[in-house]
Structure 1
Amino acid sequence: MASPAPTDAAALESVVLAALSSLYQPHVTNPQETQAADAFLRGFQLTPAAFDVCASLLDQLLRARQNSETLHSDSVPAVFFSAQTLANKLRRQPSTSALDAGTWAKRIVTWLSCDSRLPKMVVTQLLLALVATLPRLQAQDLKLQATQDADKSASQLYAVVRESYTQCSGQSVLGYALLRLVQQNVTSTVLAELLLLVVEEVDTLAERSARQRMQDEVDAWAPAVLDRLLPQVMHEASTRGVGTCSDSVETQETVLRALTSWLRYVRVDAEVVVRNPLLHSLLGFLARDELFDASVDLAVELVRSYANNSVVVQWLAPRLLSLRGSFGSAADAEDVDACLGLCRILTEMGEAYLEMLLGAGDDHTALVDLLLDCMSYPDAEVADVTISFWFRLLEELRRRVTPAILAQYKPRLERLAGLCMQKLQFREEFPRLPADKQQDFKAFRQEMGDILRDCCQLLGVEAVLQHCVNGLSQIFQAPAASRSWEAVEAHLYCFRSIAREVERLKTSAEALDAPISLIFQHLPQFADHPAICYTSCLIVSRYAEWLRAHPSSLSTQVSFLNTCVTKSAGDARYGEWEVARAAACAVRALAMDCWAMLGADIVAFYLHIEQKELMGVEDQVLILEGICAGVASSDDLPRTLSVLDQVMKGIGQRLAALFASSSAKSQVQVALNELLRLMCLYEYLDVTKLDGEKHPLVMLTEQLWPLINQMLALYRGHDELVERVCRCYKRILRTCGDHIAPLLPQLVDNLLAFYQAEPKSSYLYTASMVLKFFAPSRSTEMESLFARMLFTLIETTTPIFASVDDMEARPDVVEEFFFLLERAVRCVPQVLAAVPAGGSSCPLMTSVFSCAVSALAISHNDANKAVLCFLEQVYVQSLTDNARVKLVSLCVSNTAVAGDSNKMLVSFLLRGVVLGAMSPSRVDADYGSVAGVLVQLAKVNGQQLQLWIAEWFEQATAGTFATAAVNFLTSDEAQEFQSDLFGAANERAFRRTVRHFGKLCASRNTSLKDRERQ
């Protein structure tokens, strides 16, 4: 383990203070100096000397200013650093201290009781250190000298602590800490925070015996803490104060937070809860702005922790229901924060008391009525808090609905449905909101629509649908000047939201035809605003199946969509609301569901839009998707070929004009647009019934080879274009299957030629798809093709791995290269085992393994994942009993190199875990992780792996803590990791050890400036 260089304590203190000055002084601008100071201090914190140095600094800095009311700002960094270091060491490394827990407890109490007013963050760290000593106190440490000080005898707090401590026969570590602090006249704020931290820290104790001891302590002290201690601290803080008004409020807030934590972590009897004075004053605390947030948290925790305790529920529920008046007052005052907090409490009650709500009696539904009041608040943020409750309530109602329950809840469900229709209405300021706020409101609207849809299942879809129709009728009966586009759009959005329930309705479906037909009949008249047009288009899309069954409405909707597209082309407002995109989605749905009736018209519509450029290409492609899917579903091959010819005519003409242009190189966007169309054809024109005919897409591919080659030759350096071409290749392979096999050699030749000219990751991905779709054939011709393909790609890519700079410049190539090789290990391991003709005498696997080890030198999550996937698969393949060839035996050319290469691999893996050279997700992901590779290495040669890991830690921790590569681990921790790793009972335990050790290292290997207490 790295250790401090020999030096006396005073000199080491000076070095620590100088490093803190460099780290925290704002005038320091030298990043190297700051980084060096940070590295020094991180290493110093882990040494045994840190105990003495930090204790000495606290002695000097706190005692030297006993007459000062407030700690000088220059001393705060050193005091905080010392307190934090002691807290961390006493919590994590107590065994490295030469002093026992009792001595540390006394010193910490002394520092806490100094006359200087300490910053809260310092007090917190010192209290964490004190709490860490408590489980290790011995019986002799708990003996206290009798104190008959007049002040203490008169202190109610002292009397309460002393009495409770005496009841424990003087053997309580918590009582010892409280009594020592009270004897030293610490502030009420310190006592309140101790009570908060001591209960929160119990679960963090690693040792089971220590954790159980402290749990028993807090369980035993719970009645005294809740009945007397916390109320007394609150009383003293609220009546006499603790110095200033802000101090008093801080103490009261800490008391409420402490009470919240005791209710959360400690087993407290119901009788203790219902008699607690603070809980009896909860409504009063909620009425105080400065205590409101802490009181809300307390109320929420009380509801959640005692949801199944009838005594507490019967006592608590009426009190919290009386908050209705408070919510009304807050709503009248437009106090959003207060409404949000109260709504949190009521929503928690609703979810916790759901069983009670579904019982009989109007008293039980009062909470539902109150939550409906919350829903009615104008601000959507308040209604958003209640959403989880409504989903749960509706689910339970659907599951156990009876006539009696439905009768009880029907008026409330009708009100809920009405509120949903109101809440999802756009506000006037919506277009001016930031993009993220707009997206949040759209998500909120979606959830309102989902609640409305669920209401349909209980109220009946007819009722909700009729509400939409009636609402629209009322709007259009009003004078035109008073009509609100927001209200029209909201009713139409509701109509769209319930579409699924309309589709599900089998009985009395005819009863819905009239209102639905009425809406569709007047839909074009409604659409006098782009937002209404947008929602109307989505309605057409969502009700395409209904329109197919009612073809009389189709012509009106097609005309309406055409109007929307025309308006979008000439009005910028329609572009802001993406009306063209919505119209394209609607035409797409009609093409898929109503092809027999509208197919020819939609093709003509598409060609017209394409020619006049009335839509963006992405929106045109949406329509083309519907055309392809629709004609493919018709199983009419002549019709399919006809549509394909019509679509390809325009594509061919535009590409021919592009290639003939003298400015073709600057018009890459034209080629990109046509590739979007081609990708669509290959994705959606999936013809299954061929009757011996050639697949239309195979014929299309034969025609496209010259055009694709021209595009790649002209724009081979353009990543996006190459990617789109390769996505076309992938769709060709997937959609056409064996039909494309005769063209496969030509496709591979294209890949290799263009990859050799300019390596792009997309070509490697396409090669991987070739293996995926055709490796199962196992024919000699295919194996020869795969061998040629892999050899050429490996030969072309290998030079990249000679330079870290080259790999960092092309991480996507590294990623796809090793994903390709991982697939090759799965599909054609014999190809990797072969020696290439006319080249090196070593198998392909030898050079590939060397490249994989080299590739781990870069820190790139996706590239690292690909390499680790490949390595893991190599070892898995070699451990398979029926493997014809063991690839791991071919990874190196001789024994000496084998040791060096595998040793280097282990070094890179450990750097990823310990030093954070890889993303944390790569430490132990399901597949493609350091843990996964180490598991396989251990299976292949566990003894050798153990030696390599031990050697790596020995070298990494050598030197002083200012120079060692790993200066944040003790030698005991490194040794414990190795012992746990190779003592793991199974693979799961092995992986867990790596994962936990990685988290430990990550928590240590961070900047002190960024580290938080949690």
Structure 2
Amino acid sequence: MADMQSLLSALDVFSRAPDKAALENANAWLQDFQHSPDAWSTCNVLLLSPDAPLAAKIFAAQTFRAKVTFDLHQVDETNLPTLRDTLLTALEKYQAGPKSIITQICLALSGLALQLPAWSSPVQDLIERFGRNPATVSALLQFLTVMPEEICTNTRIPVTDDEYRERSTALLSGNSPQILELMTMYLQAPGVTSEVQSQVFICLRSWLIAGEVDLTALVKTSLFQFAFDALASDVLFDAAVDVICEIIHETQEIDDNMPVIELLVPRVIALRPLIHSHHEDPEKIRGLARVFAEAGETYRVLILRHTETFYPIVEAIGQCSAYPDLDIVPITFPFWMRLAQTMGKRSSVPPMLLEAYQALMGVIIRHLHFPQDSSTLTPQENDNFRNFRHVMGDTLKDCCLVLGSEACLLSTYGLVTVALTKSPQGTSWQEVEAPLFAMRSMGAEVNVKDINAVPKILDLLPSLPPHPRIQYAALLLIGRYSEWINFHPDYLANQLQYISAGLEASDGEVSAAAGHALKYLCQDCKQHLVPYLPTLHTFLTTVGSRLDQEDRRQVYEAIAFVISAMPMGKAAESLRTFALDILSGIHNVANKTTPASKQELKAAGEALENLEVMLHVIGSFGDELPPACQGTCQEAWSIFDVFITKYAFDYEITERVTRVIRHALSLFGVAALPVASQVVSRMVTSFEATGLSAYLWIAAKVVARFGHEEDVALASSFQTLYQRTTSKVVSMLQTQGPREIPDVLEDYIQLLLQLVEVRPDVFFQAPFPLAFRATMAALTMLQSDLVVAALDLFRVLVSHDCLDPPTPVPPKFPGYAAAIKAVVEKEGPEFVGLLLSGLVGDFPEDAASHVVSIFRAVALLFPAQLLTWLPSVMQQLPTNSVPAQARQQFLDDTTNAINSGQIDKVKYCLLGLHRAARKMRDRRRVAALDDE
């Protein structure tokens, strides 16, 4: 009774609006309760008690399902028949609902049937008990519906493969003929309701999905024809569509199922008139589209072998593709794609199918038209339509695969020329824009040697109406055809002229499209565009300031592609020209006697972004820098040093300037060594002043690049970096807590990983204990990358070569082992507690191997200490993460492994604890799904 009252109190919390802590406590209590052996009897009383609240009854039913899946071992074998009878009694009691309770009981019975071979005839027993009374037939059908799904998909049920094969065969295959007969009987029973007929269809579909229905036997029953007849019923329509689609799907082994297919196909074709009669009912059209598309996909080989016989199915799918509701149209796309792929492997295509794809192309282009009045669309609808246009573009590529890209392009080109021949009043911009979009989509299929279609299209662009939507589409089309233009450079000048005009357009989308086109043109045609570089430079200096930053950035990216195609010396000179233009603006802001305005800082940030994208594209000139780059590194750093000093607190500026420095390290290579210590020093003082993580990030990059260099100033800067950043991070953790500074922690740990790898002489100095504790804080976080980085560092430390050295200790490991042992021994209890809490809690799945490696190393180094730490650590693990029994089992097994000197067995102890925690998480997920 105490458990009963506590359970009701915990459930009552969810019916109110309590605080988060109360919800978490109630949830934890309920999860612990579900694990307990007492839950069986308590939930039995609740489920059968007429006075129990509904929420308690639902919870009891869910608990039975979960315990049958996870905890059946808690029930003595002699009491299993009693458990079965309890569930059967409960199913009878709730025969009229609620459905949620019926479903949970049926799932529990299904899981029990799979695990209880002594229950020799579960299906027959339920049919005998529930199948004769009309009032209980619904409960029986629900059991027969969920049983195949539970047996086939619930991999958590603990049975061996052999047990599963034997038992599932007996429960499913052994009962299939009887189930088919039973469903046929219920379908024709006098006074049968539409609700029962719908349940029959749902049940039949479940057995079809499980692959447990003999189709030859099915088509001989009235179920088969009734599935098609039921399409005339509003109540049965959806369930009938589901069944028909599954029957078709099950005939995909065509040669084995020809007798069934010969009965199916005429019935499917006979549905075609319904597309016209249900034209005003989108939901009916949706169902019909599913049937025809399923038939088309399944029988596409037969469509090619016997085109005339199966062509009505293709025509019906074409009608569904042409339907105006764009939520329905995509149902047909997989058919067109797979049929095109199948035909693409053949030397010839039946003429009827060529006509089908020609018609499809016209249909898709009509669907591409924007509405005449765009104000009829909400912003979300407009975004959805734009996204769906790209999906339709993929279907146009399927048309190209069948018809050939040249034929498709010429046909679409014809639509544009026809539209342009009309008077301005007689045509709309949509009639031009949609074919342009189509030609852009089909551009991916264009042969670069084409000399018929693409020249006509590109020659047409200058004569297009100056409508923003048309200009936008035309510019993106140029970007898509850049590979073709690379093979036909005579077309470059005209395209650059069109793009240049687009960049100066007042419409933001048009100028963005122009930037996009220029980027791809420069990327693919960079060799041919080198002579145009002065023109591009002039364009930037005269018009660049009028462009939006996104457009301007794309122009700089495009120019960088051209520079990357130049000989190294010329490339360096060109890069210097553009970089100095950018740096002059940074220099002006850095040397202002008064603080820069927001607008000036914004401009400086944009300039840095432009420089970053250029350096990213160009990458590196190699170890031997061209003459134009000699001395540039020191010159550039002198500007950045002043700039960072003045604006270190600005987050956006910091992010951008450090990214530029990162690319500069790649560009200059060893030439950056003279300024490396200055860079590190500036990053240290900036991080101390601001706490911004970007300064740690770039400092780590410098350590990684120059850590092996023998340079006194650099070594000193690394020591300063380690000491002062550690002090700052520890200070931040004392005032803010780890969850408030995850970016700082991650970049700090990445810095530590670099130091321990390339400068262990620095890493194992005085700040090491503080660095260890700071890294421990990361183990309390939820960010996967941060946790894995921290575990990487700990794994490196506890498995360091210095801990198992040859004799005598080599000079390169002076005092490293002593430092590691001292800090691990001091922090051991908390450290091990964090490892185990994360393992059974929120660590990412791929972190388990790291924890095993670290824990094994600790057991090897500190076996006696570990055994003294573990009891209190295990008590502190969250009770809702791992059962008490599993915690004790882990403690016992680990103690035995260490005491017997079998340290390798510690791995299996940890994996057992991890499995128990994962099982508990799975259980919570099952409960969450049940709640839904």
Kindly provide the amino acid, as one letter, of the partner of residue 22 in structure 1: V
794, 800, 804: which one aligns with 1:871:
794
1:684-723 mapped onto 2 (5 Å cutoff) = 684-685=617-618, 688=621, 693-696=626-629, 699-723=631-655
3-state SS in 2 of match to 1:664: coil
Aligned-pair distance for 1:285?
2.7
3-state SS in 1 of match to 2:505: helix
Instruction: Check 1:260–1:21 CA distance in 2 against 1; reply closer, same or farther (3 A cut).
Output: same
Instruction: Check 1:971–1:879 CA distance in 2 against 1; reply closer, same or farther (3 A cut).
Output: farther
Q: Is the aligned partner of 1:348 residue 2:294?
A: yes
Equivalent-residue separation in structure 2 for 1:879 and 1:302 (angstroms): 67
1:60: which partner in 2?
A: 49
Is there any run of 5+ residues in structure 2 with no aligned partner, and where?
none
Kindly provide the amino acid, as one letter, of the partner of residue 205 in structure 2: T
Aligned-pair distance for 1:488?
0.6
Equivalent-residue separation in structure 1 for 2:364 and 2:802 (angstroms): 59
1:326: which partner in 2?
A: 274
Equivalent-residue separation in structure 1 for 2:245 and 2:811 (angstroms): 63
TM-score (norm 1): 0.81
Equivalent-residue separation in structure 2 for 1:355 and 1:462 (angstroms): 26
Instruction: Check 1:950–1:993 CA distance in 2 against 1; reply closer, same or farther (3 A cut).
Output: farther
564, 574, 598: which one aligns with 2:532:
598
For the aligned residue pairs, the C-alpha RMSD in angstroms reads: 3.8
Equivalent-residue separation in structure 1 for 2:865 and 2:260 (angstroms): 60
3-state SS in 2 of match to 1:480: coil
2:830: which partner in 1?
A: 904
1:765: which partner in 2?
A: 697
- Post-superposition Cα deviations, 1:280-326, rounded to whole Å, max 9, x if no partner, equal 21112333333333333323332333311424333323322333222
Q: Is the aligned partner of 1:197 residue 2:115?
A: no
Instruction: Check 1:885–1:173 CA distance in 2 against 1; reply closer, same or farther (3 A cut).
Output: farther
Contact 2:47/2:60 (<8 A) preserved: yes
Q: Is the aligned partner of 1:923 residue 2:844?
A: yes
Aligned-pair distance for 1:726?
0.7
Equivalent-residue separation in structure 2 for 1:263 and 1:980 (angstroms): 47
2:197: which partner in 1?
A: 252
Q: Is the aligned partner of 1:427 residue 2:368?
A: no
Equivalent-residue separation in structure 2 for 1:848 and 1:885 (angstroms): 24
Contact 1:913/1:930 (<8 A) preserved: yes
Contact 1:200/1:265 (<8 A) preserved: yes
3-state SS in 2 of match to 1:747: helix
1:466-545 mapped onto 2 (5 Å cutoff) = 466-505=410-449, 509-510=450-451, 512=452, 515-545=453-483
1:386-785 mapped onto 2 (5 Å cutoff) = 386-398=332-344, 400-403=345-348, 405=349, 407=351, 409-428=353-372, 433-505=377-449, 509-510=450-451, 512=452, 515-547=453-485, 553-568=491-506, 574-575=507-508, 578-592=509-523, 593=525, 594-610=528-544, 613-635=545-567, 637=569, 641=573, 644-645=576-577, 648-649=580-581, 651-653=583-585, 655-656=587-588, 659-660=591-592, 662-664=594-596, 666-667=598-599, 668-685=601-618, 688=621, 693-696=626-629, 699-775=631-707, 779=710, 784=715
- Post-superposition Cα deviations, 1:465-494, rounded to whole Å, max 9, x if no partner, equal 211221111111222212121121121122
Instruction: Check 1:590–1:137 CA distance in 2 against 1; reply closer, same or farther (3 A cut).
Output: closer
Equivalent-residue separation in structure 2 for 1:326 and 1:995 (angstroms): 56
Instruction: Check 1:453–1:793 CA distance in 2 against 1; reply closer, same or farther (3 A cut).
Output: farther
Contact 1:924/1:932 (<8 A) preserved: no
Instruction: Check 1:52–1:948 CA distance in 2 against 1; reply closer, same or farther (3 A cut).
Output: farther
Equivalent-residue separation in structure 1 for 2:861 and 2:675 (angstroms): 51
3-state SS in 2 of match to 1:760: coil
Aligned-pair distance for 1:814?
0.3
- Post-superposition Cα deviations, 1:252-279, rounded to whole Å, max 9, x if no partner, equal 3332222111112243333223224323
Equivalent-residue separation in structure 2 for 1:273 and 1:385 (angstroms): 27
3-state SS in 1 of match to 2:53: helix
Equivalent-residue separation in structure 1 for 2:891 and 2:204 (angstroms): 42
Aligned-pair distance for 1:537?
1.1
Kindly provide the amino acid, as one letter, of the partner of residue 595 in structure 1: L
Is there any run of 5+ residues in structure 1 with no aligned partner, and where?
1-9, 65-73, 143-170, 242-247, 569-573, 959-963
Equivalent-residue separation in structure 2 for 1:58 and 1:853 (angstroms): 47
Contact 1:420/1:448 (<8 A) preserved: yes
Q: Which moved more, 1:729-738 or 1:310-319?
A: 310-319
Contact 2:13/2:23 (<8 A) preserved: yes
Instruction: Check 1:92–1:421 CA distance in 2 against 1; reply closer, same or farther (3 A cut).
Output: same
Aligned-pair distance for 1:427?
3.0
2:100: which partner in 1?
A: 121
Equivalent-residue separation in structure 2 for 1:449 and 1:402 (angstroms): 25
Equivalent-residue separation in structure 2 for 1:631 and 1:138 (angstroms): 75
744, 764, 769: which one aligns with 1:813:
744
Q: Is the aligned partner of 1:1002 residue 2:894?
A: no
Equivalent-residue separation in structure 1 for 2:622 and 2:67 (angstroms): 73
Instruction: Check 1:957–1:702 CA distance in 2 against 1; reply closer, same or farther (3 A cut).
Output: closer
Equivalent-residue separation in structure 2 for 1:33 and 1:558 (angstroms): 66
Kindly provide the amino acid, as one letter, of the partner of residue 467 in structure 1: S
Contact 2:750/2:789 (<8 A) preserved: yes
Aligned-pair distance for 1:766?
1.3
Kindly provide the amino acid, as one letter, of the partner of residue 863 in structure 1: L
- Post-superposition Cα deviations, 1:554-592, rounded to whole Å, max 9, x if no partner, equal 454444334333332xxxxx23xx111111223334445
Aligned-pair distance for 1:770?
2.1
2:55: which partner in 1?
A: 77
Instruction: Check 1:214–1:973 CA distance in 2 against 1; reply closer, same or farther (3 A cut).
Output: farther
Q: Is the aligned partner of 1:933 residue 2:851?
A: yes
More contact order relative to length (CA 8 Å, sep ≥ 6)? 1
1:272: which partner in 2?
A: 217
Equivalent-residue separation in structure 1 for 2:871 and 2:37 (angstroms): 19
88, 96, 99: which one aligns with 1:109:
88
TM-score (norm 2): 0.88
Equivalent-residue separation in structure 2 for 1:173 and 1:886 (angstroms): 72
40, 47, 52: which one aligns with 1:51:
40
1:913: which partner in 2?
A: 839
Aligned-pair distance for 1:93?
0.9
6, 18, 25: which one aligns with 1:15:
6
- Post-superposition Cα deviations, 1:358-385, rounded to whole Å, max 9, x if no partner, equal 3244224443333222222222222222
Instruction: Check 1:502–1:734 CA distance in 2 against 1; reply closer, same or farther (3 A cut).
Output: same
Equivalent-residue separation in structure 2 for 1:295 and 1:986 (angstroms): 57
Equivalent-residue separation in structure 2 for 1:887 and 1:21 (angstroms): 62
Kindly provide the amino acid, as one letter, of the partner of residue 937 in structure 1: F
Equivalent-residue separation in structure 2 for 1:430 and 1:984 (angstroms): 70
3-state SS in 2 of match to 1:498: helix
Equivalent-residue separation in structure 2 for 1:481 and 1:94 (angstroms): 77
Contact 1:259/1:298 (<8 A) preserved: yes
Instruction: Check 1:291–1:356 CA distance in 2 against 1; reply closer, same or farther (3 A cut).
Output: same
Kindly provide the amino acid, as one letter, of the partner of residue 448 in structure 2: R
3-state SS in 2 of match to 1:323: coil
Instruction: Check 1:819–1:51 CA distance in 2 against 1; reply closer, same or farther (3 A cut).
Output: same
- Post-superposition Cα deviations, 1:737-793, rounded to whole Å, max 9, x if no partner, equal 233333323322322232233232112221232244344x55465983674365245
Identity of aligned residues (%): 22
Aligned-pair distance for 1:722?
0.8
250, 262, 274: which one aligns with 1:305:
250
Kindly provide the amino acid, as one letter, of the partner of residue 289 in structure 1: D
Q: Which moved more, 1:901-910 or 1:782-791?
A: 782-791
Equivalent-residue separation in structure 1 for 2:179 and 2:864 (angstroms): 53
- Post-superposition Cα deviations, 1:964-1008, rounded to whole Å, max 9, x if no partner, equal 931575444456778999999999999976765443232455797
Kindly provide the amino acid, as one letter, of the partner of residue 106 in structure 1: D
105, 125, 128: which one aligns with 1:176:
125
